[in-house]
Chain A
Amino acid sequence: MLSFYLSLVETQSDKEKVEFIYLNYYKLMSYVINQYVSNKDDVSDLVHDSMVKIIYNIDKVDVNDEFRTRSFCTTVAKHKAIDFLRKKERHNIPLDENLDNKNYSEDILDIVINEESYGIILKTIDNLSDTYQAVCKLKYINGLKEREIAEVLDLPAKTVNLRIFRGKQILREALIKEQLHG
Chain B
Amino acid sequence: MDKFLNEELFEVVLEKAFIEHEKDMLKSYPADDELESEYPISKKEIRRFKNIVKEKEYGKKLIRVYFDRVAVVILCIISLFFALIMTSSEVRAAVENVILKWYDKYTEFVFTEELTRFDYEKVEDVEIGYIPEKYKLETDTSDGVSRDIFYINIDNPDLFLFIEIIKDSNAQIDFDNEYFDYEKIHTNSLDLWVMYDEEEGNGGIVTSYNSIIIKITGYVSKEDLIRIVEDIK
B7 to chain A, nearest CB (A): 6
B127 to chain A, nearest CB (A): 79
Query: Which residues of chain A in 95-111 are interfacial with respect to chain B, using CB atoms and an 8 Å cutoff?
Result: 105-106, 108-109
Task: Check A31–B57 contact: CB distance below 8 A.
Answer: no
Query: C-beta contact mask, B14-25 vs A, less than 8 Å → 1, else 0?
Result: 110111111101
Q: List 17 A-B contacts (CB under 8 A).
A: A3-B52, A16-B53, A27-B36, A28-B29, A28-B32, A28-B35, A31-B38, A106-B3, A108-B10, A109-B1, A109-B10, A126-B21, A136-B18, A137-B18, A140-B14, A141-B15, A141-B22
Task: Check B35–A30 contact: CB distance below 8 A.
Answer: yes
Task: Check B10–A67 contact: CB distance below 8 A.
Answer: no
Question: Which residues does A use to contact B, with CB under 8 Å?
Answer: 2-3, 6, 12, 15-16, 19, 22-24, 26-28, 30-32, 34, 67, 70-71, 74, 105-106, 108-109, 112-113, 118, 121-122, 125-126, 136-137, 140-141, 168, 171
B26 to chain A, nearest CB (A): 6
**Chain A positions within 8 Å of B10 at CB level:** 105, 108-109, 112, 168
Q: Does B144 contact A (CB under 8 A)?
A: no
Task: Please name the residue on chain A nearest to B46 by beta carbon.
Answer: A23
Complex-state Cα separation, A125 to B17, whole angstroms:
8
| B1, B15, B39 interface centre (most CB from chain A within 10 Å) | B39
Task: Please name the residue on chain B nearest to A125 by beta carbon.
Answer: B21
Task: Check B50–A19 contact: CB distance below 8 A.
Answer: yes
Query: Given A106-B3, A121-B14, is A70 in contact with B26 using a C-beta cutoff of 8 Å?
Result: yes
Complex-state Cα separation, A106 to B5, whole angstroms:
11
Task: Check A27–B35 contact: CB distance below 8 A.
Answer: yes
Q: Which among A16, A27, A136, A141 is the interface contact of B32 at CB below 8 angstroms?
A: A27
Q: Which among A27, A109, A125 is the interface contact of B6 at CB below 8 angstroms?
A: A109
**Chain B positions within 8 Å of A67 at CB level:** 19, 22-23, 26
Complex-state Cα separation, A164 to B32, whole angstroms:
32
A79 to chain B, nearest CB (A): 14
Q: Does B41 contact A (CB under 8 A)?
A: yes
